[in-house]
Structure 1
Amino acid sequence: MTAAVRRRPKAVADRRWAARVGAAAGLLVALVVLLLAPATPASAHAVLVSSSPAASAVVPSGPAEVALTFSEGVRKVPGKIRVIAPDGSRADRGEPSFSGAVVTIPVDPSGARGTYLVSYRVISADSHPVSGAFTYSVGAPSPPPVDTGSDNRADPVVGTAVKVAKYLGYAGLLLLVGPALVLAALWPRRLPRRGPARLAWAGLGLLVLATVADLWLQVPYTAGGGLFDVTGSGLGDVLGSAFGTAHLVRLGLLAAAAFLLRPLFAGPVGRTDGIILAVLGGAALFTWPLAGHPAASPAPAVSVVVDAVHLGSMAVWLGGLVMLAVFLLPRADERELGAILPIWSRWAALAVAALLLAGTVQGLIEVATPKALVDTTYGRLLLAKILLFALVVGVAAYSRSLVRRRTAAQRPGRMRRVIWVELAITAVVLGVSATLVQTTPARTAATDVAGTPTGYFSTTLSSPVASVQVELDPAERGNNSVHLYAYTKDNRPQPVQEWKATAALPSAGIEPIEIPLLPLTDNHTTGEINLPAAGEWQLRITVRTTEIDQATVTATVPIK
């Protein structure tokens, strides 16, 4: 009996030693990735500031190069910057060079007279692609060429998959943090740990899956293409970027944490292991803002810190709620709940306070102006998130009042129902957040490079021959850019033989104005139009896909 008792502490010590060695190995991998990664300057969503030759310019002789100047530094998407000659052939020669915010494209200066098409797709520092096109003419304008060899638009399925992966990552984080925190500090000794441990392992697996999916999807998201249009070189470019570095570091930190989570799920751990786990978890939280908008904000250091605090507070609060609803309230007795709930209530209050503070600071940085809060997609999504958060805080305040009145421990069923309401609302909040991180920040979307307020209109219209996506920018009085895309029912590009579009304002007596259209690819065309008055403009778009298949759709666009 004595020998068995002596062997048990030694076995426990051996397991803890092995866990720490494994954690150190995982942390070492993360540090190696971080040290070997190239440094990338911080910047925001890039905007094309100017070009040489200028858009729509007519120059007397062919230039030897085309220069694109963006508002911030950009990175290359291989094969996505092209200059098309009037006859449809490639006029660019060799690879474009990147120097901060300036991209230089070598061009054959002895090309034919006529109109040239310049199309581009680059990556901003916050990992989002930026694409566009314009024309210039040599000698005199001619019918613009069509770039049939490049589609600078990401597959809609890929865009949706990216948002789903973000959502799953958030869900995995809270399912991992909640059980780990409660098992380390609040779990009654008499209750088995198997259920919470399984939930935490599921959260860890979901988090790893979402991180790997992020890396995979980033290739077609930035380069264009479908879910499986992933090449070795494209994946290498993603892994070598700041985005890829942050995700690889996250995987290394999760691997390190997994070695210490195993003994935690088996029983109480020592203070040293708890501190190491907390450090690993805190470091992992920073990989989210370092791979997104916060790292490219006007105040990156502040944005990264507050976003990590925001994410960590969310994981603590919601993860703890899941543990209360699923395990503690149904299994713990009144005496245990009487001790646990007041502590949890204080933790939840601190987490909510941190959420409010961090969210306010981040909102001020990303939105920049009150007008952008209502005039941009990012601002409106943020308003929706604030309203939902206010609702869930109200429900949380009610649950806190139950704890203060000491009725929660005596009647756990009511407390459990309230918590499920909190979780249902916050599930919607997480969905809004997953969309928000993929949306252009309001500080960028609300102003162009000259500081002029801009808006944006986008809608998808169905017809028997194609689904037509309509984009109008800035959707205000004056000059506007129109982009039209055609897709099949299964979201594949639909080739179009002929586009026609008109704009009318019946309320002001403005008859239909024809919009001159420039085909960029076989399913994408663009045009420019001046809208002289505010009101509900009627866009009428005709799509002809074959000699006999044709359809007309109409969109109402509010112009301010």
Structure 2
Amino acid sequence: MTAIAPRSGTASLTRLLLVATVLFGTVFTALSGTASAHAALTGSTPADGAVVATAPKDITLTFSEQVAMGDNSIRVLDPDSKRVDAAKIRDLSDGATVRYAVDLRSGLSDGTYTVAWRAVSADSHPVSGAFTFSIGAPSKTAAPMPTEQAGGGLVGALYDIARYVSYAGFVLLVGGAAFVLGCWRRGASVRPLQRLVVQGWLALTGGTLVLLLLRNPYTNSGKLGDAFDLAGLQEVLTTKTGAALVSRLLLLGAAALFVAVLFGAYAKREESQDESERKEAGDLTLGLALGGTVVAAGIAGTWALAEHASTGLQPALAMPVDVLHLLAVAAWLGGLTALLVSLYRAPSIEGAAVRRFSRVAFISVVVLAVTGLYQSWRQVGSWSALWNTSYGQLLLVKVALVALLVGIAWFSRRWTGRLGEPPAKAEDGAAEDDGREAGAGKETGPEITTTATTTATATVVTDSDRATQLARQEAALASARQKRMRDADPGRTGLRRSVLAEAGVAVVLLAVTTGLTGTEPGRTAEREAAGAADGGTAAVANQGPLDVRLPFDTGGPNGKGTIRLTLDPATSGPNVMKVLTDGPDGKPLDTPEVRVAFTLTAKKIGPLPIVPERAAPGRWTADPVLLPMPGDWRLQVTVRTSDIDQTTVEKNVKIG
């Protein structure tokens, strides 16, 4: 019976951890596919899909927020996939607008050119995109559009895993140490708790080192081999994220000293029977608590300084709020893990320690609620973003998990109230009970009779190996007896199960929280969708009727002009379209033929051909124009100015 109970508990723990791992893997897989574009390209010159009469001198990109770009961050490729840019970025930002430019080589021929860009947003996440424009007229061939997303691939997956490991290590390190100092001081000498905190330190340190090495390929080439590029690593150290990671490593050195004192000098004084040493342990508690809080806040600050909190609205307030949020998460989830380890691995734990943690957990939940509400308002921005953006949807999942965790915690508090204390003389009489059970020969474990005990005593001097074996047997009996006493308390058994369930939900909650830090905030996502200006990587933003102007040149006499196309109301369903062709002088240019086509590439719809009717010289109409659904459509207008001279111009437009 004594041996069965621990194995059952271990099996339950193993099963739940396996389930939690599967859930975590599911969530993490979903998160790895989410967009991480925290800065949006809001415009470009030339615009996406534009057809220009002459070659531009440079390409300019405009972003929604500050980004970091290197000399190879903007690449311009001709129809044969050859670079035609000067590979030298110029920063044209003026404070209110974030704009970068790259010069083009002279003498560019007509055709379609591809612009591929890559940058790092202010909150440390890489962003990338591509678009095309044409000189003279679109060509039959064009450079292939980049398909790999910034921060994706194997390097992106490893980087995300290292981020999760870092967060988990921070939770175990800070939460485990806080549990010992604030809830159960005698736990400083419990080996399973010591291993838990040390493993948290190792996980956080190892994860931070991996993040530092992967930062260069994560934001640039995407090649795993570049993790050991010293030049790239040196460049990373000059960035805000690199400085934050190095600062975290330095703070972890101080944390190692803290852990050594906590489980060394402090644990010895706490276990000492000497009254003066125990008083010294009490004095040392305050120093460790203050020093540990400073170090923990500093480590949490390395995230706040480099990620979401440092950009956007009210960063001066958002960063300390983010630090409080992370500390509350660590105190709650890390303390919960420490309690779980104590219930399953420690010989016994005081009921008062469990009740103290219950109060700490309650305070942590209150802090999480207050700081979480502020962060949600700051990052989401509107009710619609809660269900229309990936960030909002993940936030709803997180709220649901927190609510579930609080519900399970309510049951844990009920079990805590029923938790009994071990008998006062149970430990003092352990040796006496061992002697009685051994002398009676009734112990169901190893057979130790009175005769065997006498014989063993006689052979202590002559047979040290036998004495060592007997000592181990007696220790095993004492440990088994302690476990029987521990498991006999129904309150403790119920508490162990509820805390185990809490820990399983906490694993998934931490995965979702990690995903939120790598997902585009709702405010940015909505601004990108609604404010992608003319020529951005997104289509032309539609505010009411669509009005598009496109220059054209068929190459023949009187072949130059401008097309003005209006579509009202520019939504799915029936629309009214008007097409005007004007000459260089602004007067109507009578053309023999105008054709229009709409293509929704994402849904493989189209091209939908439309032949408008001639209403007057240079004036064409079509009613109705039926578009089946909203989306980013490719608009193509073909103009014929003679029997042999015609051209087709294109542009991306947003419908609905």
Q: TM-score, normalised by structure 2?
A: 0.61
The amino acid across from 1:76 in the alignment is M
Distance in 2 separating the partners of 1:192 and 1:504: 61
How has the CA–CA distance of structure 1 residues 155 and 339 changed in structure 2, closer, same or farther, with 3 Å as cutoff?
A: closer
How has the CA–CA distance of structure 1 residues 62 and 512 changed in structure 2, closer, same or farther, with 3 Å as cutoff?
A: closer
Distance in 2 separating the partners of 1:261 and 1:218: 29
The answer to whether the aligner puts 1:360 opposite 2:373 as a matched pair is yes
Give the CA deviation at 1:503.
Answer: 6.2
The answer to whether the aligner puts 1:296 opposite 2:311 as a matched pair is yes
How has the CA–CA distance of structure 1 residues 243 and 188 changed in structure 2, closer, same or farther, with 3 Å as cutoff?
A: closer
Aligned length: 434
Distance in 2 separating the partners of 1:148 and 1:277: 51
Give the CA deviation at 1:531.
Answer: 9.5
The answer to whether the aligner puts 1:65 opposite 2:58 as a matched pair is yes
How has the CA–CA distance of structure 1 residues 89 and 377 changed in structure 2, closer, same or farther, with 3 Å as cutoff?
A: same
- C-alpha RMSD over aligned residues: 3.3
Distance in 2 separating the partners of 1:288 and 1:351: 19
Aligned to 1:487: none
Aligned to 2:512: 432
Which deviations, in whole Å up to 9, do the C-alpha atoms of 1:311-345 show, x marking residues without a partner? 11111111111222212576465xx6232222221
Which deviations, in whole Å up to 9, do the C-alpha atoms of 1:425-484 show, x marking residues without a partner? 11011111222211111111123275489xx9xxxxxxxxxxxxxxxxxxx967xxxxxx
Residue segments in structure 1 that go unaligned for 5+ positions in a row? 1-43, 457-475, 479-500, 506-510, 517-529, 538-558
Give the CA deviation at 1:362.
Answer: 0.7
The answer to whether the 8 A contact 2:172-2:200 is kept is yes
Question: Which of 118, 137, 142 matches 2:139?
Answer: 142
Q: For 1:288-367, what aligned pairs fall within 5 Å after superposition?
A: 288-327=303-342, 331=346, 333=348, 337-367=350-380
The amino acid across from 1:532 in the alignment is L
Which deviations, in whole Å up to 9, do the C-alpha atoms of 1:384-404 show, x marking residues without a partner? 111111001001112122334
The answer to whether the 8 A contact 1:151-1:224 is kept is no
- Partner of 2:88: helix, strand, or coil? coil
Question: Which of 196, 199, 202 matches 1:199?
Answer: 196
Distance in 1 separating the partners of 2:407 and 2:236: 42
The answer to whether the 8 A contact 2:188-2:263 is kept is no
Which deviations, in whole Å up to 9, do the C-alpha atoms of 1:133-161 show, x marking residues without a partner? 22222223223521599966444222222
Which deviations, in whole Å up to 9, do the C-alpha atoms of 1:353-402 show, x marking residues without a partner? 11111111111111111111101111111111111110010011121223
Aligned to 2:291: 276
The amino acid across from 1:448 in the alignment is E
Aligned to 2:261: 263
The answer to whether the 8 A contact 1:75-1:123 is kept is yes
Give the CA deviation at 1:204.
Answer: 0.3
How has the CA–CA distance of structure 1 residues 452 and 61 changed in structure 2, closer, same or farther, with 3 Å as cutoff?
A: closer
Aligned to 1:394: 407
The amino acid across from 1:370 in the alignment is W
The answer to whether the aligner puts 1:532 opposite 2:624 as a matched pair is no
Give the CA deviation at 1:346.
Answer: 1.0
How has the CA–CA distance of structure 1 residues 253 and 442 changed in structure 2, closer, same or farther, with 3 Å as cutoff?
A: same
How has the CA–CA distance of structure 1 residues 228 and 276 changed in structure 2, closer, same or farther, with 3 Å as cutoff?
A: same
Question: Which of 63, 69, 79 matches 1:76?
Answer: 69
The answer to whether the aligner puts 1:157 opposite 2:154 as a matched pair is yes
The answer to whether the aligner puts 1:51 opposite 2:44 as a matched pair is yes
Q: For 1:121-520, what aligned pairs fall within 5 Å after superposition?
A: 121-146=118-143, 153-189=150-186, 192-230=189-227, 231-268=229-266, 270=284, 271-327=286-342, 331=346, 333=348, 337-405=350-418, 411-448=491-528, 450-451=530-531, 512-514=605-607
How has the CA–CA distance of structure 1 residues 77 and 435 changed in structure 2, closer, same or farther, with 3 Å as cutoff?
A: farther
Distance in 1 separating the partners of 2:529 and 2:392: 19
The answer to whether the aligner puts 1:110 opposite 2:107 as a matched pair is yes
- Partner of 1:228: helix, strand, or coil? helix
How has the CA–CA distance of structure 1 residues 329 and 343 changed in structure 2, closer, same or farther, with 3 Å as cutoff?
A: farther
Which deviations, in whole Å up to 9, do the C-alpha atoms of 1:167-210 show, x marking residues without a partner? 11121112212331233233354983333222211110100011
Distance in 1 separating the partners of 2:385 and 2:320: 23
Distance in 2 separating the partners of 1:159 and 1:532: 38
The answer to whether the 8 A contact 1:168-1:207 is kept is yes
Aligned to 2:485: none
Distance in 2 separating the partners of 1:54 and 1:367: 29
Distance in 1 separating the partners of 2:203 and 2:298: 19
The amino acid across from 1:442 in the alignment is G
The amino acid across from 2:337 in the alignment is V
Give the CA deviation at 1:267.
Answer: 4.0
Q: For 1:92-107, what aligned pairs fall within 5 Å after superposition?
A: 92-100=85-93, 101-107=98-104
Distance in 2 separating the partners of 1:383 and 1:146: 41
Considering Cα pairs closer than 8 Å and 6+ residues apart, tell me whether 1 or 2 has the greater RCO. 2
The answer to whether the 8 A contact 2:42-2:532 is kept is no
Give the CA deviation at 1:405.
Answer: 5.0
- Partner of 2:407: helix, strand, or coil? helix
Distance in 1 separating the partners of 2:626 and 2:521: 26
The answer to whether the 8 A contact 1:154-1:221 is kept is yes
Q: Which has the larger radius of gyration?
A: 2
- Partner of 2:107: helix, strand, or coil? coil
Q: Identical aligned pairs, as a percentage?
A: 36
The amino acid across from 2:351 in the alignment is G
The answer to whether the 8 A contact 1:48-1:68 is kept is yes
Greater displacement, 72-81 / 122-131:
72-81
The amino acid across from 2:365 in the alignment is V
The answer to whether the 8 A contact 2:600-2:606 is kept is yes
The answer to whether the 8 A contact 1:77-1:223 is kept is no
- Partner of 2:225: helix, strand, or coil? coil
Which deviations, in whole Å up to 9, do the C-alpha atoms of 1:201-238 show, x marking residues without a partner? 11101000111112222222211423333333322222
The amino acid across from 2:83 in the alignment is R
Distance in 2 separating the partners of 1:431 and 1:250: 21
Distance in 2 separating the partners of 1:123 and 1:149: 17
How has the CA–CA distance of structure 1 residues 444 and 413 changed in structure 2, closer, same or farther, with 3 Å as cutoff?
A: same
Give the CA deviation at 1:416.
Answer: 1.1
Distance in 2 separating the partners of 1:329 and 1:228: 43
Aligned to 1:30: none
The answer to whether the 8 A contact 2:192-2:341 is kept is no
- Partner of 1:286: helix, strand, or coil? helix
The amino acid across from 1:45 in the alignment is H
